[in-house]
Structure 1
Amino acid sequence: MVYRIFSSLLNRSLAQCLLCGGRADYCGICFACAEELPTLQNACETCALPLVEPARFCPACLRQPPHFSGVQAAWHYAYPVNQLIQRFKYCGDLTAGHSLAQMAAQIIDVDQRPDLLSPIPLHWRRYWQRGYNQAQLVAEELGRQWQLPVRPRLLCKVSATQTQSQLNRPHRLRNLLGSFVLREDVEGLHIGLVDDVLTTGATLEAAAQKLLQEGAARVSAFVLARTP
């Protein structure tokens, strides 16, 4: 159902590039604009933090490894990807989200496939305000491209936390404490969490910790973009 809605929206705007307005060649974007997207290359293997010097892990993950085993991100959260994500997340531009998810599915190398994908949930109040969960829409497209099942109701956000974007990592973790509950059995499963943007990793950390506590064998994550 979600894919059919996305396809309809995409078909109506496929003639024009989402960024420059020229002829769209690749997932709703022209080849020239696609080449300008800030692909994430040198990054921490655990949290996907962009690194200046070549290294496998960032200092924070070396000091205290997170509960998730690794994050894969397609891009830096920089222009013009950040602009497209903001349009998708806050302005209802589902076509932008669909295009990004399609491209991300081709860019991200899923070396160890999870058993299923689970989008980071929104609290019902935030969902009611926005009308959709952007992480779920990304997960649906990744699942379709990778032929993986998607469980949008696996996790439930039971408390309405403060807006996360203005909080640092310790405050985000405290903000999220106890905010997730499970609705399905995850015993022995490798869960792939999906979100749009990874900033401090606190949301993924809280969700991964809950999944592991409930018996998941492993938790990895996939996001469209990673902030510096």
Structure 2
Amino acid sequence: MLETLLDILYPRRCPVCSEIVDKRGELSCTGCRNRLITVEEPKCKKCGKPLEQETKEYCYDCDRRRHYFERGFSLWLYNEDMQKSMADFKYKGRREYAAFYINELLKKYQKEIEDISPDALVPVPIHKKKRQTRGYNQAEILADELGKRLNLPVLSELLIRKKDTLPQKQLNDKERFRNISEAFAFSQEERCNYKKELQRVLLVDDIYTTGSTIEACARALKMNGIEEVYFVSICIGKGY
């Protein structure tokens, strides 16, 4: 009854078109889901980027250099519809969109995540200045929703964003990695406070483009004793 009342007073908006959903109780408009391009095979065996050639196993980036993470999963291609949706989610307070994102993510990847059997989820952190301005960390919202659905702990303070870096979208690939490589620190205090085993973690983020941010986070985790690092993101750029 409470959910029904809230739905009447505060009708849910579609994460794709931003209008009130066309069917009460749904997380998005029925037709809008068809506008999102799900990542399918062929895709990179390492980072999960969609590939144009079926004969290739890895994208150009993963083929030419070694990564600290084991493997990654992403749900949708970062097209124009998802660019708008993610911007609203990150910058316009549409935190409720996370329920739709995670619901769709689990439809496709729940088995893969359960097979990994992570000890904990670790959201990619943002700098405290951005958090103060925005009011929240979008990756933490996603991790909390995913943890709730899979009954997994979320360690939001295990990684700390110590540098307020330039926006990655303004930089080329080499500049992105240099910009972000020393931006993250590992919290030994948070690790000590977590009394259970912590050997395998799943990083959670909203968008994977060049992978510089995920790579820097995975490096910080591996350098501090985490044996296996995987990642999941809602959107991903094209591979080639």
Distance of 2:49 and 2:37 partners within structure 1: 14
Q: Unpaired runs of 5+ in structure 2? A: 1-5
TM-score normalized by the length of structure 2? 0.83
Distance of 1:127 and 1:157 partners within structure 2: 11
Alpha carbons 1:73, 1:223 under 8 Å: kept: yes
Q: In the alignment, is residue 12 of structure 1 matched against residue 16 of structure 2?
A: no
Alpha carbons 2:44, 2:50 under 8 Å: kept: yes
Alpha carbons 2:102, 2:146 under 8 Å: kept: yes
Counterpart among 179, 183, 187 of residue 183 in structure 2: 179
For 1:5, the equivalent position in structure 2 comes to: none
Three-state SS of the structure 1 residue aligned to 2:116 is coil
For 2:22, the equivalent position in structure 1 comes to: 23
Aligned positions of 1:25-40 closer than 5 A: 27-40=26-39
When residues 125 and 102 of structure 1 are mapped into structure 2, their CA distance, relative to the original with a 3 A threshold, is same
Identity of aligned residues (%): 30
Alpha carbons 1:38, 1:79 under 8 Å: kept: no
Q: Per-residue deviation at 1:9?
A: 8.5
Q: Deviations over 1:153-188 (max 9, x none)?
A: 110011111111211221111112322111133986
For 1:52, the equivalent position in structure 2 comes to: 52
Distance of 1:26 and 1:48 partners within structure 2: 32
Q: Per-residue deviation at 1:26?
A: 7.2
Query: RMSD of the alignment, in Å?
Result: 2.3
Three-state SS of the structure 2 residue aligned to 1:152 is coil
Q: In the alignment, is residue 112 of structure 1 matched against residue 116 of structure 2?
A: yes
Counterpart among 136, 149, 156 of residue 152 in structure 1: 156
- Following TM superposition, the consecutive aligned residue runs of length 4 or more in structure 1 with deviations greater than 6 angstroms are 8-11
For 1:122, the equivalent position in structure 2 comes to: 126
Three-state SS of the structure 2 residue aligned to 1:44 is coil
Q: Which moved more, 1:217-226 or 1:39-48?
A: 39-48
Alpha carbons 2:166, 2:179 under 8 Å: kept: yes
Amino acid aligned to 1:91: K
Q: Unpaired runs of 5+ in structure 1? A: 1-7
For 2:94, the equivalent position in structure 1 comes to: 93
Q: Deviations over 1:124-147 (max 9, x none)?
A: 011111111000001111111222
Distance of 2:175 and 2:32 partners within structure 1: 37
Alpha carbons 1:117, 1:194 under 8 Å: kept: yes
Aligned positions of 1:158-197 closer than 5 A: 158-183=162-187, 184-185=190-191, 189-197=199-207
For 2:142, the equivalent position in structure 1 comes to: 138
Alpha carbons 1:17, 1:24 under 8 Å: kept: no
Counterpart among 220, 232, 237 of residue 210 in structure 1: 220
Q: Deviations over 1:100-151 (max 9, x none)?
A: 2222232224231211100000110111111110000011111112221111
Distance of 1:137 and 1:126 partners within structure 2: 15
For 1:4, the equivalent position in structure 2 comes to: none
When residues 9 and 51 of structure 1 are mapped into structure 2, their CA distance, relative to the original with a 3 A threshold, is farther
Distance of 2:137 and 2:154 partners within structure 1: 14
TM-score normalized by the length of structure 1? 0.87
Three-state SS of the structure 1 residue aligned to 2:73 is strand
Distance of 1:29 and 1:206 partners within structure 2: 34
Distance of 1:11 and 1:203 partners within structure 2: 39
Distance of 1:78 and 1:24 partners within structure 2: 25
Alpha carbons 2:120, 2:152 under 8 Å: kept: yes
